[in-house]
Amino acid sequence: MHPAFSVLIFTITSGAGYGLLGWLSANELFALWPLSIMAKITIGITAMVLISVGLSASTWHLANRKNAWRSFSGFRTSWLSREAVFAIVLYPVATMYAAGLYFGWPYIGLWSGLCLLLCLVIVFVTSMIYASLKTIPQWHTPLVPTLYLLFAIMSGGLAWAIMLTWNGLDIANFNHSLALIVAVTASVKLGYFVWFRLPATSSIQSATGFTQHRVSLLDAGHSAPSFLNKEFMFDVEQVKLVRLRWVMFIATFVIPLSVLYWIPTSMTLLGAWLVMMAGLLIERWLFFAEARHVVRLFHGQQKV
Amino acid sequence: MKLGLAIDLDTCVGCHACATACKQWNTSGAIGPLTDENPYGKDPDGAWLNRIRTFEIDASPHSKTVNMPLSCMHCEDAACVTVCPTGASYKRSEDGIVLIDQDRCMGCNLCSWACPYGARELDPGSGTMKKCTLCIDRIYDQQLPENERQPACVITCPTQSRVFGDYDDPDSDVSKLNRQRGGKQLMPELGYNPVNTYLPPRNPIQQEQGGSVLGKVKHIVNRIIKR
């Protein structure tokens, strides 16, 4: 699959934003760390900025943006529409939470609880846009929503840890819990790499109906790359992919985990978060570049 | 009604006339235009609703060349419709044709990702998705003579490899051909239940040796043609 840069930016920044807002809301619900009201509001605004940057990036890849407002209508069947609806619903809920904090209104637990729930739901719904596609075997797995949720909790959690240190709070035990989350996410991602080597059910034989014979492409029927080629025939050398996987793994998991475990100061954590986000950008790029759509079978690929 | 095509892989010669006729009709039809980018350059690109792939089946010397035109299969369980966030993609209940409302499409590409057959292409001009309409603006046109109320690709096919009809009617041409020739769905394992079927090549009829003089002449002619 062709990795659209706007979609990569969208999923990682808004993922981190939903994660951060989720941690903030969880803190409100379970009273984990004592933070001043202004600190909470600042963190909330930071999260909403990350989310909004991501969401606006997601509209760049639309070819006909003037109809984007219509994307709320397919709610009953479309995961993309559900994402749009929940993403918009979060804004008034988050505003009510912030206003409640500022003016000291009651039912703050209700609004923060709703915020937490919505953050998790939105990340899950976003991942289901990909996981629901049977045409892309590498995406059609429960591992995809699991990973998206873990990535949001992990990158948002690291941002949350930075916010805590900035507000002069001790993160003595939290850094170990967070390191554990990073380790769990890393192992699920490793599992994903192992899983997606398994062959898919569709082949050039099932695509052409000649199930008893060897089938090969003689001619694709066009002299220059078409929309289908550009969208689905994205190819990178295997060597390069493997190298990028290593870079991704070190940046996303190894460096942040080491920093969290050994040197968790506010500045090192910020550096670790930036490295993690860069790693996640590569991770999301690989998520697209390594996904193989079944249309490739009609272009001569034997298996997807 | 369940309208669709039966495509004869035995007789298709891969001339691309169906694709050209499709482009010609639909560029000024209900969902037109079908924009091209760089049409006279060395890498022309644009929205086509029908593309023909050529495959080699089996290995030489038993190989066979098969031309496979691919357009929308008008799936009974169309994933492209359910994933559409704007409701632009829809499947008509009266005849099963899958269409895109060009006024609602926002060009997010998700339906093209959900389609296993590569039947949907983004129009670089309008930024909306384009696909086969089964020539909805022909098949119901009362102004046309009855034998012309068929998709442009079907009318133009020089070898009559494309047959249009109603799969819900057991006596329609497509239903009969599908039964007689053992028509196949492509990628049935995905469960989208495509309506269009592909009729596999027939085995060559074994010619009787000897017999009448005419039979011998036929046998010689057949052998020459085979070479």
| Residue-range domain boundaries for chain A | 5-61+68-299
Given A1, A74, A295, which is nearest B118 (Cβ)?
A295
Which amino acid would we find at residue A86? F
User: Considering only CA atoms, which of A160, A217, A205, A222 is closest in space to residue A23?
Assistant: A160
> What is the mean pLDDT of the segment spanning B202-207?
73
Given B51, B56, B110, which is nearest A221 (Cβ)?
B51
Question: Helix or strand or coil: residue B68?
Answer: strand
Say if residues A257 and A182 touch (Cβ distance below 8 Å).
Answer: yes
Q: Give the model confidence (pLDDT) of A237-277 as tens digits.
A: 999 999 999 999 999 999 999 999 999 898 999 999 999 99
Helix axes A174-195, A238-249, angle to 10 degrees: 160
Whether B211 shows a pLDDT value over 80: the answer reads no
Instruction: Give B42→chain A minimum CA distance, Å.
Output: 8
Whether B226 shows a pLDDT value over 80: the answer reads no
User: Considering only CA atoms, which of B119, B108, B98 is closest in space to residue B187?
Assistant: B119
Say if residues A97 and A25 touch (Cβ distance below 8 Å).
Answer: yes
Whether B111 shows a pLDDT value over 70: the answer reads yes
Q: What percent of chain A has pLDDT over 70?
A: 100
Interface probe, candidates A203, A217, A222, A296, chain B, greatest B C-beta count within 10 A: A222
pLDDT of res. A183: 97
More confident residue, A170 or B112: B112
Tell the residue number behind the tokens 């769905």, with chain if given. Answer: B185
Residues of B in contact with A232 (CB under 8 A): 118
Note whether A293 contacts B54, CB cutoff 8 Å.
no
Whether A138 shows a pLDDT value over 60: the answer reads yes
Given A68, A225, A294, which is nearest B116 (Cβ)?
A294
pTM: 0.92
> What is the mean pLDDT of the segment spanning B103-107?
96
Q: Is B102 exposed, middle or buried (0-12, 13-18, 19+ CB in 10 A)?
A: middle
Looking at beta carbons, which pairs linking B99-103 to residues 24 or more positions away fall under 8 Å? B99/B31, B99/B131, B99/B133, B99/B136, B100/B31, B100/B128, B100/B129, B100/B130, B100/B131, B102/B31, B102/B126, B102/B128, B103/A67
User: Considering only CA atoms, which of A68, A66, A26, A63 is closest in space to residue A43?
Assistant: A26
Residue B69 token pair: 């035109």
Note whether A208 contacts B121, CB cutoff 8 Å.
no
For B3-226, CATH gives: 3.30.70.20
**59-118 in B: which are within 8 Å (CB) of A?**
59, 65-66, 68, 70, 79, 81-88, 103-110, 112-118
The gap from C-alpha A275 to its chain's centroid, in whole angstroms, comes to 16
Question: Helix or strand or coil: residue A74?
Answer: coil
Q: Give the model confidence (pLDDT) of B12-39 as tens digits.
A: 999 999 999 999 999 998 898 999 999 9
Q: Which of A262-266, B119-123, B172-176 has the lowest mean pLDDT?
A: A262-266
Whether A23 shows a pLDDT value over 80: the answer reads yes
pLDDT of res. B46: 93
> What is the mean pLDDT of the segment spanning A170-175?
88
User: Considering only CA atoms, which of B143, B201, B196 is closest in space to residue B174?
Assistant: B196
Note whether B53 contacts A81, CB cutoff 8 Å.
no
Helix (H) or strand (E) holding A248: helix A238-249
C-alpha–C-alpha distance, residues B35 and A258, integer Å: 53
Residues of B in contact with A77 (CB under 8 A): 81-84
* Reported confidence tier of residue B223, pLDDT bands at 50, 70, 90: confident
| Residue-range domain boundaries for chain B | 3-226
* Reported confidence tier of residue A146, pLDDT bands at 50, 70, 90: very high
Question: Helix or strand or coil: residue B108?
Answer: coil
pLDDT of res. B217: 85
* Reported confidence tier of residue A67, pLDDT bands at 50, 70, 90: very high
Q: Which of A59-63, A95-99, B129-133 has the lowest mean pLDDT?
A: A59-63
Tell the residue number behind the tokens 């996410």, with chain if given. Answer: A185
Whether B139 shows a pLDDT value over 60: the answer reads yes
CATH match of A5-61+68-299 with 1.20.1630.10: yes
Is the CA virtual torsion A115, A163, A180, A197 positive or negative? Answer: positive
Given B57, B79, B122, which is nearest A63 (Cβ)?
B122
Q: What percent of chain B has pLDDT over 70?
A: 96
Interface probe, candidates A78, A294, A304, chain B, greatest B C-beta count within 10 A: A78
Taking CA atoms, what residue in A is nearest to B130? A227
Q: Is A12 exposed, middle or buried (0-12, 13-18, 19+ CB in 10 A)?
A: buried
pLDDT of res. B227: 66
Dihedral angle computed from the Cα positions of residues A149, A155, A160 and A165, in that order, rounded to the nearest 10 degrees: 150
Highest average pLDDT, of A168-172, B192-196, B205-209, comes from: B192-196
Task: Note whether B164 contacts A: Cβ–Cβ < 8 A.
Answer: no
Give ipTM to 2 decimals: 0.93
